[in-house]
């Protein structure tokens, strides 16, 4: 069981992380200063430096933990190799669930992942794409989808990223649009 001090530390770190995400999503990375983070989080600059060495460390932690969280959710799906299309749809649904449950985090990941070159983040991106690519490949092998694997993946990834960020659509509408895009590749 965590002590009160440990819970307070976690809460303060999370408040700092939330402040960074809010500032970056609203004003961009250039406006992100330790002074602005302190002001937004309600903590002194010294507190920010107590919990994080730099604003880059905060940025990196958000991205790494965000990708870990999303990948963990996707990996929790029971993928049936005999039903690759149904499994692909489940991966898409899970991806969309994540974007609904973690809206701010997903927006942050979608907007800033490419800004930070980091081997750990690249590892998670690769794992995510491998899940999609293997399912698409199995769909092609079984004659369910047709076309170039990378082209289908890029089209699907683009539509998931774009449609998931549309806050005017319900979960079901988002899923419908993504699956409609995927239908274009069906045999």
So where are the chain's domains? 1-52, 62-183
Angstrom distance (rounded) from CA 154 to CA 164? 15
Q: What is the reported pLDDT for 187?
A: 74
pLDDT of residue 154: 95
Q: What is the pLDDT of residue 129?
A: 94
In this prediction, residue 46 carries a pLDDT of 94
Q: Running DSSP on this structure, what letter comes out for residue 23?
A: H
Whether the predicted pLDDT of 53 surpasses 90:
yes
Query: CA 125, CA 119: separation in Å to the nearest integer?
Result: 10
Count CA atoms within 13 Å of residue 12 on its CB side: 18
Instruction: Label residue 40 by pLDDT band (50, 70, 90).
Output: very high
CATH number for the domain whose boundaries are 1-52: 1.10.10.60
Q: Mean pLDDT over residues 47-53, rounded?
A: 94
CB 21 within 8 A of CB 108: yes
In sequence order, the β-bridge partners of residue 145 are 186
Instruction: Give the mean pLDDT of the chain.
Output: 93
For the stretch 113-127, pLDDT in tens is 888 788 999 999 999
C-alpha 64/C-alpha 112 separation (Å) is 11
Phi, psi of 120 (to 5 degrees): -65, -40
Tell me which CATH homologous superfamily contains domain 62-183: Tetracycline Repressor, domain 2 (1.10.357.10)
Tell me what pLDDT residue 15 has: 95
- As a whole-number percent, the residues of the chain with pLDDT over 70 amount to 100
């Amino acid at each position: 069981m965590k002590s009160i001090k440990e819970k307070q530390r976690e809460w303060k770190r999370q408040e700092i992380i939330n402040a960074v995400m809010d500032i970056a999503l609203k004003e961009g990375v250039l406006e992100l200063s330790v002074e602005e983070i302190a002001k937004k989080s309600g903590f002194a600059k010294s507190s920010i430096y107590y919990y994080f060495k730099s604003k880059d460390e905060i940025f990196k932690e958000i991205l790494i933990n965000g990708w870990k969280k999303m990948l963990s959710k996707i990996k929790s799906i029971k993928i049936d190799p005999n039903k690759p299309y149904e499994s692909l749809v489940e991966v898409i649904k899970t991806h969309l669930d994540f974007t609904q449950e973690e809206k701010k985090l997903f927006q942050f990941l979608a907007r800033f992942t490419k800004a930070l070159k980091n081997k750990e983040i690249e590892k998670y991106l690769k794992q995510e794409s491998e899940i999609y690519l293997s399912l698409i490949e199995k769909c092609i092998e079984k004659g369910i989808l047709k076309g170039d694997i990378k082209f289908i993946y890029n089209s699907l990834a683009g539509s998931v990223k774009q449609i998931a960020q549309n806050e005017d659509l319900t979960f079901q509408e988002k899923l419908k649009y993504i699956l409609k895009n995927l239908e274009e590749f069906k045999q």
